[in-house]
Amino acid sequence: MNFDFKDKVVLVTGGGAGLGLAIARSFVAAAAQVVITDISSDSLVKAVEELAGADGAVHGIVNDASKSDQVNALVAEIVDRYGRLDIAVNNAGISTPLADFHNIAETEFDRVMAVNVKGVWLCMQAEIRQMLQQGGGVIVNMASATSLNTYPQASPYVTSKFAVAGMTRNVAVEYATRNIRINAICPGNVETPLVRSMVKDLSVLYERHAMKRMGQLHEVANGVMYLASDLSSFSTGSLLEVDGGWTAI
């Protein structure tokens, strides 16, 4: 699918690997000015090296989305460098190994909430402040098929993604008349480092999807690109399912 984001400034958090890198790759190919962040400097360096030769431009910033001072500094650096922030994709997220609910440590729960929920909250706050100053913008949050469904033994992750879905819809309504569109994408299982960390035998995931397969990185990236583009100009507060029919079963 061909998109044109020429002269658009795009932020992708958690862009060092997996879905974040795939999303950043799509925006770079569409001629955007792309900033990617990651908590891992090694992942970030590799990602920037991979993307540097494409049509757009890419800049990497090491960042912890769960820290307000780092998030605020991130947006300030983007504005100082490019003058604005047109599109933000809040993709940074983590999970925990599958475990029975009663055996999950409080520290593990807190860690997932800090990145997946507080991180999105902090990023949206900083992004919206800037978008209000410049007259508008677009935000796409990374939710999940588990924002609308269940996944036994993954309760911290599922809880966090339900929260992201609710936050997306609520904040979208709040800013709907101020030229800021906020949507979320809800992917099914895609073979990424995060999914591989949760499930050893990936074949067991096929049956969760009506299509009997896992999603491909570019299929989720296309959904993000659609939500970020003017093609979705009448969409805000929506949860776009790109899940191979998981939530329809």
Q: Could you say which of 82, 151, 157, 175 is catalytic?
A: 157
Place of tokens 């925990």: 96
Beta strands in 108-214 (DSSP E): 137-142, 180-187
Nearest to 204 by CA among 217, 216, 191: 191
**Is position 157 annotated as part of the catalytic site?**
yes
Burial of 133 (0-12, 13-18, 19+ CB in 10 A): exposed
How far apart are the two ends of the chain, measured CA to CA in Å?
27
Own/partner pairs for 42-51, CB < 8 Å, 24+ apart?
A: 43/16, 43/17, 44/15, 44/16, 46/16, 47/15, 47/16, 47/17, 47/21, 50/21, 50/25, 51/21, 51/24, 51/25
Active site residues: 157
